[in-house]
Structure 1
Amino acid sequence: MFHTVLIANRGEIALRIIRTLRRLGVRSVAVHSDADAGAPHVREADVAVRLPGGYLDIEGIVEAAAATGARAVHPGYGFLAENTAFARRCAEAGLVFVGPPAEAIEAMGDKIRAKETVAAAGVPVVPGAAEPADDLLTAEIGFPALIKPSAGGGGKGMVLVRSAAELPDALASARRTAAAAFGDATLLIERFVENPRHIEIQVLADTHGNVIHLGERECSLQRRHQKIIEEAPSPLLDEETRARMGAAAVEAARSVGYVGAGTVEFIVQGATADYYFMEMNTRLQVEHPVTEMVTGLDLVELQLRVAAGERLPLTQDEVRLRGHAVEARVYAEDPARGFLPTGGRILALHEPGLPGPESPTIRVDSGIAVGGRVGSDYDPMLSKVIAWGPDRASALRTLDGALAATTVLGVTTNIAFLRALVTHPEVVAGDLDTGLVERRLDELVPGAATPGDVLAAAALLLQHERVPAAPADPWDVPDGWRPGSPAAWTTWRLESRDGVAGIAVRGLPASGAEVRLPAHEGEEGDRTLRARLERDGTGLLVTLDGVRRRYTAARDGDTVWLGRDGDTWALTRHHLGDPGDRAGAAGAGDGVVRSPMPGTVLLVKVTAGERVEEGQPLVIVEAMKMEHTVTAPVAGTVAELPVRAGQAVDMDAVLAVVRPEEP
C-alpha cells in the first residue's frame, strides 16, 4: 500500500477518500483552489496544497504530489477523473493514477469508439451511428432518435428528434453545444428507447487479468439526464437477468483492458428487460455508496489495492448482495424556481448518521460545514444521504426519515423535493423510468406558500430577541404593556418567496403571547393564536394553540431561517418607514428585481433612469455555466441599478428596482 496519496478533488468525495486513507494508515494530501482554502476537505487532510490554477491544473497537481512525497493520485469523480492527458502525465511523472490505463479512458471516452469496441465483444448496443447518418436514421435507426455528443456526458447537448423535419436544426444545435462544452463537435445518433430504465453495473478489474462485477444500481430517477435517486439492487432485475447483464459488463471491461473500478451503463426496456450498452464511466461513481452498503466492500480501498498491484481479494462466486440501499443527492438548488442553483453561507447544519459501521442503516457523505459558503464556482451537490434496509420498502422509509432529519439553513436545497420523490406511489412500487420525474414534477415540487405557523415562529423569534434576558427593571421589558390597558401589538413585516405578510405579536413569547396571522384565502378576518416559544441553541420549540412544533432556527442579519422535516424557509424582516425599504420602493415589492441564483453579473442591459417595458431584459446573471436573463416585472422607470458587469451576487440580491408607471 502507498505511504502518501494525493486527492485531486474536493468536497464530499475528497472527504470520503480521506476516511478510507485514514483507516488504512495512509497519509492524505488535499489540493484546493483559492475559493476552497478553508473547505472541510482541506482541514481534514494530513497535508493541503494550494493549486494556482484550480482543480484542472494538471501541472500544479503533479508538482504538489512531488512536493509532498505522494506516490499515487486519486482523481475522485468529475474534474480530471476521466482525462486521458492527466492519466498520461501522472505516468510520465512516476505517479500511480488510481484508475484505469489512459488507453482504456480514451477508448471508452469516445462514445462511437466505445460502442464499436463492446459490440465486437458481443455486448448488445443501441442501433446507431456517427453523424452523418441520414440514411441510417430512416432505415436502421428510425425515429424517434437521440443525438448526443460523442465526447460528452451528463446529458449536455442531447437532443431528441421525432421526425426527419426536425433533424437539420437538431443536428446544428447539438453540434454547437458539443463544440462549446467538450471541444469536439462529433455527434452520435441512436435509436431513442421510449420510457427506458437506466441500470448500471459496477465492475472491478486488477492487473492480473481478473474482472468481476458487484451487481447493479438502478439510476432511472433523473431530471434532464441528471441522476437524483440511485438504489441497489434494481427492483426490475431477477437473478438470471442480473447475471447476464453482469457478464456483459465484464466483457465490456475486458475489451479495453480495464483496470480498477468502473461502471458499465445500460439502457433497459422496462417491459421486456432487453438491455443495451450505453457507455462506460471509467472512474468511481457518485452513487458508489449503495453498492458498498449491499456488498460490505470499500470500493476506494479496492481501487487503491488494485493500483498498488494487488489481486482482487474475491472472486465472482464470492460476491454477495445483502438487503437494499438507496441514495439521495442533496443539491443547493431551488425546485420551486426551476431547480436553479442557490447559494449562501451555511448558518446551521444537521446531518443524521455517521459513515462506516457505527451507523449500519444511515450514511451521509458530505462536503459542507457550518460557516462554509456555497457559491457558484462548482457543482451544487452538497451531500449524499444513503439508507440501508433488509428490503426495499424499509430502505425507502429509512431514507425518508434521514432526509426529514437533515437540515441545512442559509442555503435553499432540494430536500423537500427528494422526500416527495422517495414517497411517491410509483417510486414505492418500483415502477420507474427516466421520464417519471418530469411527468410528475407538479406533484413533487413544493408549493410557494409559506405556512402560517412558520410565519408565526419567525415573528415570535424576532419578538423574543427584542426582550432583554434579565432586565434590571420590569418597566424596561418592551412587551407593549401599559397601566390600565392590554399590551400593544408589535407588527413584524416578513417577506418570503410568496410575498410580504404582517404578523402581529403581543406579550412575551417565552412566558405566553398572542400571535395574529392574516386570514387564509376564503377565511373571514385574521386569526389570533395563543403562543409560546422555547429556545435551545439552534433549536426552537413553538406552541400555537396547544400544537407544538420543533424547528431549527438561525439568523442572518434581517433574515430568519427556519427548518422542519426537511423543509426550509427564509423570511426577511422589513423595517416600516425606512428610506431603504425595498418593498416600499417598488409597490410592495412589485418592482424589485432579484437575482434568481448566486452567480456573476454577465451583462447589464439598461441604465438608471431608463424607461422599460414589462418583460424587457435588464440583467444577465451567469452561474454554473448557465445564463439567466432577468426581466422587468412591470413597465416603468429604472429607479435603482446597484450592480455592474463582473460583480458577484448572492441569490435574491437586488439587481434593479423598477418604479411602476402611475395608473
Structure 2
Amino acid sequence: MQKTTQAQAPGHATQATTREKTPAMFDTVLVANRGEIAVRVIRTLRAMGVRSVAVYSDADADARHVREADTAVRIGPAPASESYLSVPALLDAARRTGAQAVHPGYGFLAENAGFARACAEAGLVFIGPSADAIALMGDKIRAKDTVKTAGVPVVPGAADPEIVEAARELGAPVLLKPSAGGGGKGMRLVRDLAVLEEEIAAARREARSSFGDDTLLVERWIDRPRHIEIQVLADAHGNVVHLGERECSLQRRHQKIIEEAPSVLLTPEIRAAMGAAAVEAARSCGYVGAGTVEFIVPGVDPASYYFMEMNTRLQVEHPVTELITGLDLVEWQLRVAAGEPLGFGQDDVRLDGWAIEARICAEDPSRGFLPSGGTVLALDEPHGEGVRTDSGLAEGTEVSSLYDPMLSKVIVHGPDRATALRKLRAALAGTVTLGVPTNAGFLRRLLAHPDVVAGDLDTGLVEREAEGLVPDGVPEEVYAAAAAVRVAELAPAPAADGWTDPFAVPSGWRLGGTPKPLALPLRVPGAEPVTVEAPRTASRVTDRSVTVTVDGIAHRFRRAGDWLGRDGDSWHVMDHDPVAAALSGARHGGADTLAAPMPGTVTVVKVAVGDEVAAGQSLLVVEAMKMEHVISAPHAGTVTELDVSPGTTVAMDQILAVVTPLEQKEDAS
C-alpha cells in the first residue's frame, strides 16, 4: 500500500509521496474553486510537481489561493453566478493557461454533471467521477432507487410531486431535502404538519437559489440520529475500497461543524458491513475517484443504518481520513484521474489513531449565529505536533456575504480520542481571526461538553445545547482591556527633554484635588453600552496584545485596533456616544425600526409602504452566505418606511423598514 510520508506533519497540507510524476500525469491543473479548498489542492499539486492555475472573481483578486498558485486567471465579477459558476469562463481560463485537467474542489460546480461533461467536451480531464455518475448520485431520488436495487438499505420517503401526501402519510416529524445539491442547504425539519406548505415553499426557494433546482423529497425523520459517512476510493480499473468512517453528527442547521474519524459508535463488524455497503453503492453507479457515502444511523441500534446520499466529490472533512490512513486523497484523485490503478486493496487499509476537525465559520454566536463579515485585521492559526490548519485566510482578507461562510479548518491527530479532543480544544483557544466574528470559541466549549467527551452524540445535540455554550454578556475583563487600550492611545509621547505635560496625561489628575478616574463609554455590538473607569492596576499594551489585571487575575488578549480576542472568542469594543445614539434612536423610531441582522442581500419583500401588518408577520427575507433570515414585524402597525427592494445589498445594522404602531399613527394624524 502506498503511504504518505508527511500525513501528520504539523501545520502542513497532507503530502502523499515524493514519487515523480508518472508519464500520464498532468503538467497543469486548473483549480475551479476558492478559499481553503483551493489552497489545499494547490499544496498537493506543488508537492507533485504539477503547475497550478487559480481562478478568481473581482472580490478575490488578492485572495490567498490566488497568491499561492503558480498562475491565476480572473473569471468575472464578484457574484458567483458570473464567476465561479460560469462554465464558459472556467473553460476559457483552462484553455488560455494550457491546463489538461480541472479539479473542482467542493461546492460551486463540484457536483455539476453539466460542468463535468463540458470539461470532457473541451478535452479536459475532470478530476472526479463521470458526468453520468454525478447526475445519478446528485439526484437523491434516483440515487436511492439505484442503491436500493444494489441491496443498500434506504430511508423511507417519497419525492416530488408526492411529497405533501407522503409527508402526511409518514407523519411528523419529516425532513424536506432538495433532490439536487447537499451541505444541508434547503433542508427543513418539519415537526408540525400545519406549517408543511410554508416550509416546502422556503425549502424550494433555498434549493433554487443554491442549486438551480427546486425539486424536493421528503423522508421519515429518525429521532436522535447519528450521521456517519464512509470514504470510498475507486479507480478506472474496477478497484473500489473504503477508508473507514467519519462521525459527522455534530451539526447546526444540518451543517456539519465537527467531524472525527473513526466513530466511537461502530464496532469492527458494523464498520465492515457499512464499508461494504458503501462500496456497493459506489459500484452501482460506476463510480471513479474519491467519494463519500452518507448514512443515517439510529444511535440506539447502529446495526440499523440507512443510505442517505452520495457526495460525488471531495468532502470538507477529508483531512480526518487522511490523518488516520496516511493517504493524501487529493493526490489519489489526481492519480486515478490520470489512469493509475490504486495499487492496494481493502486489506491494506489501516486506521491509525484518532483525528478530529473543527470548521471555523464567519458567524457570530452571540447574535444567534448570524453570518458575519469584515476584514481580517489579525490572524493566528494553530500549528504544532499533530495539528493542521487548512485555511484560505490571510491578514487583510475581506470576508463578504457573497460566498460560503467557512473560512478554515483546524484538524488534530492523536493516539486516542481523549488526546485528540484535548489537542483540538487547545488549538481552538489559540485561533485568532480579529475583524471577523467566528465560531471558534463556541466550538472549543462544545468539545468540552460532557456528552461530546463521552461520545454520546446525535445530530440534534448542538441545537439543544447551543444556548448554554454561548457566553452570557461581555466579560468584565474585556471592557477593562479595552479601557487600557484607550488610555494607552490617549497618552502623549514624551517630549525631547523627557518632560510630560500632566494635563495631557489621561490619568484624571487635577490641580489641587484628588484625581478623578477617567470614565470611558464603550459598547460591543449586541450588548448594552457601559461606562468603564480607566484601570488603576498595572496593564501592558502593545500593538498586538493587551494584558490587564482584574480581581488579582491577569488576562491577556490578542488585539488589533478596537478588536480583542482570547480563547477563540473575539469582541469589537467601540467608543460609545450617548448623544448620537439617542438622536439616532429618535430618528428611526427605536423599537419600530427593522435593521439588517447581517450583511447580505434582500431577496424577498412582502409589503409596501402603507400596508398594515400583524405582530410577527414576515416582511422581508435577507440572504447571506447561502442562509436566509426572515425579518418580521416587531408589533402590529403600519409600514411607514421601506428602504429596500429585492436585490438590494445591505450592511449589518442597515435600516430596512419602519413599522409604526397603529396608535402612534393615529396620534400623529
TM-score normalised per structure 1: 0.86
Moved more, 611-620 or 180-189: 611-620
Q: Tell me the residue number matched to 1:376.
A: 401
CA distance in 2 between partners of 1:283 and 1:656 (Å)? 42
Give, as a single letter, the amino acid of the residue that structure 2 aligns with 1:113.
Answer: R
Q: How does 1:31-46 map to 2 (within 5 A)?
A: 31-46=55-70
RMSD between superposed Cα atoms in Å: 3.4
Gaps of 5+ in 1: 354-358, 506-514, 516-529
Is 1:568 the counterpart of 2:570? The answer is: yes
Q: How does 1:18-97 map to 2 (within 5 A)?
A: 18-52=42-76, 53-97=82-126
Q: Tell me the residue number matched to 2:585.
A: 586
* 2:185 and 2:626 in contact (8 A); partners too: no
* 1:604 and 1:645 in contact (8 A); partners too: no
Describe the superposition over 1:347-381 as per-residue Cα deviations: whole angstroms up to 9, x where unpaired.
1111111xxxxx44111111111111111100111
Q: How does 1:79-118 map to 2 (within 5 A)?
A: 79-118=108-147
Q: How does 1:474-513 map to 2 (within 5 A)?
A: 474-475=500-501, 477-479=504-506, 480-496=508-524, 497-505=526-534
Residue of structure 2 aligned with 1:5, choices 19, 23, 29:
29
CA distance in 1 between partners of 2:599 and 2:305 (Å)? 41
Secondary structure at the residue paired with 1:503? strand
Is 1:289 the counterpart of 2:295? The answer is: no
Deviation of 1:503 after TM superposition, in Å, equals 1.1
The 1:112–1:93 alpha-carbon spacing in structure 2 relative to 1, beyond 3 Å, is same
The 1:604–1:167 alpha-carbon spacing in structure 2 relative to 1, beyond 3 Å, is closer
Is 1:541 the counterpart of 2:539? The answer is: no
Q: How does 1:134-533 map to 2 (within 5 A)?
A: 137=166, 144-160=173-189, 174=203, 178=207, 181-273=210-302, 274-353=304-383, 359-447=384-472, 449-472=473-496, 473-475=499-501, 477-479=504-506, 480-496=508-524, 497-505=526-534, 515=535, 530-533=536-539
* 1:400 and 1:419 in contact (8 A); partners too: yes
The 1:630–1:468 alpha-carbon spacing in structure 2 relative to 1, beyond 3 Å, is farther
CA distance in 1 between partners of 2:217 and 2:584 (Å)? 53
CA distance in 2 between partners of 1:104 and 1:613 (Å)? 49
The 1:636–1:325 alpha-carbon spacing in structure 2 relative to 1, beyond 3 Å, is same
Secondary structure at the residue paired with 1:327? strand
Q: Identify which of structures 1 and 2 has the higher relative contact order when contacts are C-alpha pairs closer than 8 Å and 6+ apart.
A: 2
CA distance in 2 between partners of 1:395 and 1:312 (Å)? 30
Moved more, 449-458 or 532-541: 532-541
Deviation of 1:573 after TM superposition, in Å, equals 0.3
* 1:616 and 1:632 in contact (8 A); partners too: yes
The 1:494–1:240 alpha-carbon spacing in structure 2 relative to 1, beyond 3 Å, is same
CA distance in 1 between partners of 2:89 and 2:112 (Å)? 15
Q: Tell me the residue number matched to 2:13.
A: none
Give, as a single letter, the amino acid of the residue that structure 2 aligns with 1:561.
Answer: W
Give, as a single letter, the amino acid of the residue that structure 2 aligns with 1:598.
Answer: P
* 2:36 and 2:391 in contact (8 A); partners too: yes
Give, as a single letter, the amino acid of the residue that structure 2 aligns with 1:243.
Answer: A
Secondary structure at the residue paired with 1:100? coil
CA distance in 2 between partners of 1:478 and 1:119 (Å)? 77
CA distance in 2 between partners of 1:583 and 1:658 (Å)? 19
* 1:368 and 1:383 in contact (8 A); partners too: yes
Secondary structure at the residue paired with 1:474? coil
Describe the superposition over 1:57-107 as per-residue Cα deviations: whole angstroms up to 9, x where unpaired.
111111111111111100000000000010011111111100001111011
Deviation of 1:575 after TM superposition, in Å, equals 4.1
* 2:246 and 2:259 in contact (8 A); partners too: yes
Give, as a single letter, the amino acid of the residue that structure 2 aligns with 1:5.
Answer: V
Moved more, 193-202 or 172-181: 172-181
Q: Tell me the residue number matched to 1:596.
A: 597
Count of matched residue pairs: 626
Deviation of 1:315 after TM superposition, in Å, equals 1.6
Give, as a single letter, the amino acid of the residue that structure 2 aligns with 1:536.
Answer: T
The 1:299–1:658 alpha-carbon spacing in structure 2 relative to 1, beyond 3 Å, is same
* 1:343 and 1:650 in contact (8 A); partners too: no
Secondary structure at the residue paired with 1:55? coil
Secondary structure at the residue paired with 2:537? strand
The 1:54–1:413 alpha-carbon spacing in structure 2 relative to 1, beyond 3 Å, is same
Give, as a single letter, the amino acid of the residue that structure 2 aligns with 1:317.
Answer: D
The 1:543–1:611 alpha-carbon spacing in structure 2 relative to 1, beyond 3 Å, is farther
CA distance in 1 between partners of 2:470 and 2:606 (Å)? 31
CA distance in 1 between partners of 2:647 and 2:463 (Å)? 34
* 1:363 and 1:386 in contact (8 A); partners too: yes
* 1:599 and 1:621 in contact (8 A); partners too: yes
Moved more, 135-144 or 450-459: 135-144
Deviation of 1:485 after TM superposition, in Å, equals 2.4
The 1:346–1:649 alpha-carbon spacing in structure 2 relative to 1, beyond 3 Å, is farther
Q: Tell me the residue number matched to 2:624.
A: 623
Describe the superposition over 1:12-50 as per-residue Cα deviations: whole angstroms up to 9, x where unpaired.
000000111111111110000111111111111110000
Give, as a single letter, the amino acid of the residue that structure 1 aligns with 2:374.
Answer: G
Gaps of 5+ in 2: 1-24, 77-81
Deviation of 1:197 after TM superposition, in Å, equals 0.7
* 1:11 and 1:367 in contact (8 A); partners too: yes
Describe the superposition over 1:620-658 as per-residue Cα deviations: whole angstroms up to 9, x where unpaired.
644235454557879999999998986644334566899
